[in-house]
Chains A and B, each alone.
Chain A
Amino acid sequence: MAAVASLLDAQPGVGRTHFPAKAKNVIFLFMGGGPSHVDLFDPKPILRHRHGEEMPPSILGTQRVTLMTRNQGHFKTASTPFRFRKVGQAGHDMSDLWVHLPQVADELTFIRSLHTEPINHDPAVTLMQTGRPESGLPAMGSWLSYGLGSENRDLPAYIVMMSGTFDQPITTRYFHSGFLPSQHQGVHFQAAGDPVFYLSNPAGIAPAARGEIVAGINDLNRLRHAQVHDPEIETRINAFELAFRMQTSVPELMNIRDETQATLDRYGPDVNNPSTFARQALLARRLVERGVRFVQLFHRGWDAHSSVIAHTRRQVRDVDQPIAALIRDLKTRGLLDSTLVIWGGEFGRTAYGQGDLSGEFGRDHHPRCFTCFLAGGGIKPGVVLGATDEFGYNIVGPKIHVNDLHATILHLLGIDHLRLTYRHAGRDFRLTDVAGEVVPEVLA
């Protein structure tokens, strides 16, 4: 693999890396809609004991709630039907929904004291993606593409895929490059049709014919360059050559026929369906294998305003086996050391129920605390950082803000988050806005 791109040199204030990197690539498993931490990783027995009782005012405090629960007139504690157990050497807490993940428990490190400000999806996802709740700023993957470039000349540095049940829209803005040059925007690889828009030649134009046409375009462009000397023409010539090469490299990447049956089995039967999380987890591995800097899988469907039990069960069924398989797969191939894997959503869910607690109740948005886990490059495995109160409603002790998580991710990639900046609208912007501190407890 070639060295980190010298594109860095083009950026003022950006070195190759600021210090030696622990990880080269990131796979961010984004759980869109907000997974319920109290049903998954943060056990709170009191929810069972107090089911149906009003939450104590001392716990509720004066925090903002959404209009949906503000208008329902009660904040009743809601039980979880799932049993928790300790798994792995580290003794991580996982609810019994997780069947496969415990197998890789010792690779994982949990942060239970993550928090954010927005209480609605759009600004909360925007904050997790860009460091601020307002739209228009570059996504984390775009920052990394800008700062570190790509290690594969035939693929973009930031690739996004989507799966899951529709609840909240995943808009282009979430993986846009904002004010950074637009080549850093996330490229959405589609599950169906052309993985990259317009990758396939039109019906009737064979690959070899396309090669001849592109050669003709470039021949004429070289002649023009000789006359007008505009260096941008050389850029265009390169772009057309790369486009032509991508027509081979991308289908090759998306084609999983060369995977062994054992590998496919490890990801589970869903892997045969291109629009599933399982398939995309496998593709994520293939992408980092090829040097793609930042792969982000959006798995939607966690927004359980009703039927939180059924929702969560369905969602875990989608992701459990593929995540375990991905981490083992990376490990087996020696890629886990250089790949940072992140699991998490835009916020957590409330300890109180939404709707009638005797029926199919749900849980509302909860930005005050939520859980994420990390694995791989530069992460100290087995840590459980931070704690929440007995209801899983407030953080007890030190808090980790999303900006801190971002600072830590950049740190693992060899970047000082204070020094990866871009001048826009008269000031230097960075992913962590005006905040963010590296979280040393999770570093190896």
Chain B
Amino acid sequence: MTRRSVVWMLVGVCVAGASIWYARELTLSTSVPPLPEKPSANSVAVDFKRDILPILSGKCYSCHGPDQTARKGGLRLDQRDAALKPIGWSAPAIVPGKSADSEVIRRILSDDDDERMPPKKTGKPLTDAEKDLLQRWIDQGAEYQLHWAFVKPERAKLPVVKDKAWVKNEIDAFVLAKLEAAGLAPAPQADRVTLIRRLSLDLRGLPPTLGEIDAFLADDSRDAYEKLVNRMLDSPRYGEKMALLWLDLARFGDTSGYHQDSTRQMYLWRDWVINAFNQNMPFDQFTIMQLAGDLLPNAGDQQKIASGFNRNTRFNEEGGVDPEEYVIRYNIDRTNTLGQVWLGLTLGCAECHTHKYDPISHKEYYQLFAYFTGITEPMVEGESVHGRPLPPLLMVPTPEQAKALTNLRKDLAHVEEVIAKELQRYSAAYKDPYESKTVPEIVLLNLYLKSQLAWEAQAKDSLKPPTPVRDALQIEPAKRDATKNKVVRDYYLRKVHAEFRKELAPFEEDYEDFTRKIRQIENAIPYTLISEEMAIPRHAHVLIRGDFLQKGERVERGVPAVLSPLPKDGPKNRLGLVRWLVSPEHPLTGRVTVNRLWAQMFGTGLVRTLGDFGSQGDYPSHPELLDWLAAEFVLPRPTGNASPGNSAWDVKVLLRTIALSATYQQSSIYLHDSAKIDPLNRLLSHSPRHRLSAEEIRDSALAIAGVLSNKIGGPSFMPYQPSDFYKFKNEAWVWTSSDGDDQYRRGMYVFWRRTALHPMFVTLDAPTREECVVSRPRTNTPLGALVTLNDPTFVEAARVFAQRILTQGPKEHDARLAFAFRTATCRAPSETELKILRHRFEQQRARFAADPDAASRLVNAGQYARDASLEVSELAAWTTLCNLVLNLDEVLTRE
């Protein structure tokens, strides 16, 4: 079922009055319609990778594939040699060139229910077209090819197109060739307002300001658009948008995610990500720093902070858990994240058994897993770490804290020096009055203020003195060495002896004061969780069925044989692993990364399964384009000059190339003709149109209202949240709405409680980030409508927006309505639209004129200062109008 047709079907259902609860927008359709150019005529050569592998993988491999334990009848179809060999007395499964002699064909065509493959009970019958393809493939020689994604991408020759004038860069040649082959034409270029809004949302996650729109409209230079793209990429907001996308992949959260879900600090890592994107750090560096920054020679703070990526895993503090079980879970999570983010493979399948579809063995899974077993974990058996920071940590004092600490430590050293000097003096002067005298014990007990001997007699059994003193006291005075004697003597004089203690009191006060202040500052120092390699990593074993109690063969670190080999002489640790990952020979990292960047700009990837490039994943809509982009990204062609186009792994260059293509600049107007041929718009005959993410919806409302905070980075904040939200979930959790400017920060800084995410974000499809998520669904539901209509953040945004219109907008009424509409949608309203706005505004104005109480309740929404000079019922009526405008489809949608 295709996305578009799901929607149409539902529309039909609604009209018919049948009962449905939600309609939806599926971003990952559950079945893939054939691409329009799929071969149907007998003359066309069958392509193994495109046509045959999906059939074998989807319908045969679960019993006749890589997993030996699941294999039936000894038949293996994923390797040519094996498939051509006769098994027992039976004919070979495949006889190249002779489909009629091939056992496979006999069995798939059989009329006998017991013989026919795939077996009926699998519920996966072959279609006639699939049977036909298999026959033709065998007749054409039954050539196998390695799955496309495991072969290093090469630059294909640019295809020849008819409409050469349309092509702005290489991307367009690939796209247009496919469109022309399918008999489709590209959509016209979008208007300038749509283009600036699209660019701003795709690259900054925010709508443009009216000033930016007007400047772009007024710029009639030839390269106005190119300059706009550069401005967007240079905006500090670009780093935030990129980081936001990365947070889902990196499973970033502000809490530990299991059990009581205690708070942790990771924002320094998030700040690092924002900066890395803003500085356009090459993606290979970005990868190395996060997976293995701690292992780089001379790793500094930045490398260590980045390595916190590995610590973004959840952490279980529950008292009764077996730490070993969870250490294994954390490393499984790290392995699966590596698979999803860099390899684009569903490695998780091989956690319990050899992968059923891709050539990743059970053992190879645990060889990758073994790279993470050296990471130091905070919890050992029997030790509770509830709510405490989870070491290893990096403490990163602010400059103010660092300065204050230096000063205080200097002061402390000084006072310690004074005390030491004084002690020396006293020590020399002190003589125990009772030494060598015999005093009854009962009297002695009362003399401790004057006599060290007397004090020692009691202090020995007391817990009061600090440990070194207590330890020294356990030794008889005569047997103590000089150091130990000094420890006891100094303590006695400083803390106990009546006169000396008094004399020292002012210094001791200072000493206590400085120590307390130092401790206070130290406790407030920002910290972040980092990776640290243990000297001896834990052993890694194959875990039978993924069960940590069923250890199989012990394994060493290594990478799957089907992929490129490890670079020679590389270290056998995470650093070696990442060097392999970002080697130009690697077939996946570049493809997976450019595909995700493509999805950022087009709503979905050239391979729609962003985390599955395996044989069960989506076949690319434009394989040559994907490979061309990957090759450009990983190993750009030398251009002979220092143009920015020739640096490797350059994210901004790739995004700029996409943005400058004619393909990207097409209008998003939905075309019925192309929908018939290409319902999912996989050929890109127009630009996609899709709902913004939860964070972008929030940020847009605040930006339109003019209240969005421009603070970048720092600790997470807490937006308004329903007060009962934690009730019955965990009453111990605290949520305090942030004050002042912090309340209006971007959604990416919202405090992310993984087991109970803020309901606004859940409703608008944000993941809890308990695990890596490579793409979010985008649903349009009634619950989502209630969020943007009634969530206090959105109501306050409407109220502040109204205030802005009345104070900064035009004076004339219609002009104000148009200003409201344009600020929100970026375009001017039509006369019909204006009429609707006028009508709805008048309705609300009449209501509030008749009900001043209601008006005054509404205009006090939120904590933002109200402009007392504005007439209350007027402000209330404008607030409802703004609430209306902020809920328009266009405002919530990227067009």
Contacts and interface: CB of A to CB of B under 8 A. Distances in A.
Interface of A: 2-3, 5-7, 9-13, 64, 66-68, 71, 119-122, 135-136, 145, 149-153, 155-157, 162-164, 166, 168-173, 176, 181-183, 185, 187, 190-194, 196-206, 209-210, 212-217, 219-221, 223-225, 227-236, 238-240, 242-243, 246, 275, 291, 298, 300, 365, 418-419, 422-423, 425-427
A162 B876 CA distance: 37
B20 A5 contact: yes
Contact of A201 (B790, B832, B884): B790
Interface in B297-319: 316, 318-319
Contact of B668 (A214, A223, A228): A228
B524 interface: no
B836 A426 contact: no
Given A122-B259, A227-B669, A231-B8, A156 B23 contact: no
A46 B617 CA distance: 57
Contacts of B19: 2-3, 5, 149-153, 291
Given A67-B319, A193-B722, 12 more contacts: A9-B9, A145-B21, A162-B728, A191-B728, A192-B727, A197-B783, A198-B791, A204-B856, A232-B893, A233-B889, A239-B23, A419-B123
A172 B616 contact: no
B670 interface: yes
B768 interface: yes
A231 B840 contact: no
Contact of B611 (A162, A170, A238, A425): A425
B164 interface: no
B729 A234 contact: no
A122 B320 CA distance: 11
Contacts of A217: 884, 887-888
Contacts of A13: 123
A426 B689 contact: no
B779 A181 contact: yes
Interface in B248-273: 258-261
A191 B727 contact: yes
B855 A204 contact: yes
Given A67-B382, A246-B782, A183 B24 contact: yes
Given A183-B21, A202-B795, A212-B843, A196 B783 contact: yes
A41 to B, nearest CB: 25
Contact of A300 (B609, B614, B728, B843): B728
Contacts of B146: none
Contact of A136 (B21, B616, B771): B771
B28 to A, nearest CB: 8
A167 to B, nearest CB: 10
Contacts of B358: 426
A423 B124 CA distance: 13
Nearest to B847: A209
Given A120-B318, A202-B792, A235 B7 contact: yes
Contacts of A214: 789
Nearest to B31: A12
B827 to A, nearest CB: 11
Contacts of A275: 727-728
Nearest to A2: B19
Contacts, number: 316
B857 A197 contact: no
B876 A170 contact: no
A216 B21 contact: no
A414 B120 CA distance: 20
B322 interface: yes
A11 B30 contact: yes
Nearest to A185: B762
Interface string B835-860: 01101100110010001001111111
Closest 3 pairs (CB-CB, A-B): A204-B858, A426-B616, A183-B22
Contacts of B780: 232, 235-236, 239
Nearest to B791: A198
8 contacts: A10-B9, A172-B768, A213-B789, A213-B844, A236-B892, A275-B728, A426-B616, A427-B346
B763 to A, nearest CB: 7
Contact of A426 (B614, B760, B883): B614
A229 B670 contact: yes
A221 B672 CA distance: 19
Given A425-B346, A427-B357, A204 B854 contact: yes
A233 B892 CA distance: 11
Given A122-B259, A216-B836, A228-B668, A426 B609 contact: yes
Contacts of A171: 261, 729, 755-756
B670 to A, nearest CB: 4
A12 B880 CA distance: 43
A219 B839 CA distance: 11
Contacts of B859: 204
A104 B694 CA distance: 48
Given A169-B261, A212-B844, A426 B349 contact: yes
Given A13-B123, A166-B731, A234-B11, A200 B321 contact: no
Contacts of B78: none
B884 A213 contact: yes
Contacts of A12: 1, 30-31
Contacts of A246: 782, 786
Interface string B787-825: 101111001000000000000000000000000000000
B14 A238 contact: yes
Nearest to A427: B616
B540 to A, nearest CB: 19
A419 B790 CA distance: 40
B673 to A, nearest CB: 11
B728 A230 contact: no
Given A243-B783, A246-B786, A426-B612, A173 B883 contact: no
Contacts of A136: 770-771
A303 B319 CA distance: 13
B416 to A, nearest CB: 43
A242 B785 CA distance: 9
B94 interface: no
B854 to A, nearest CB: 4
Contacts of B830: 223
A314 B855 CA distance: 48
Contacts of B781: 182-183, 239
B770 to A, nearest CB: 6
B602 to A, nearest CB: 15
A228 B666 CA distance: 13
Contacts of A155: 21
A329 to B, nearest CB: 24
A197 B782 contact: no
Interface in B1-57: 1, 4, 6-11, 13-14, 17-26, 30-31
B259 A6 contact: no
Nearest to A213: B884
B765 interface: yes
Contacts of A205: 854, 858, 880, 883
A433 B671 CA distance: 41
A228 B669 contact: yes
B213 to A, nearest CB: 19
A169 B844 contact: no
B286 to A, nearest CB: 25
Interface in B324-363: 346, 348-349, 356-358
Contacts of A235: 7, 10-11, 23-25, 780
B755 A169 contact: yes
A173 B8 CA distance: 31
A314 to B, nearest CB: 17
A96 to B, nearest CB: 30
Most buried by B among A194, A216, A239, A242: A216
A264 to B, nearest CB: 23
Nearest to B615: A426
A236 B836 CA distance: 19
A230 B725 CA distance: 35
Contacts of A156: 21-22, 783
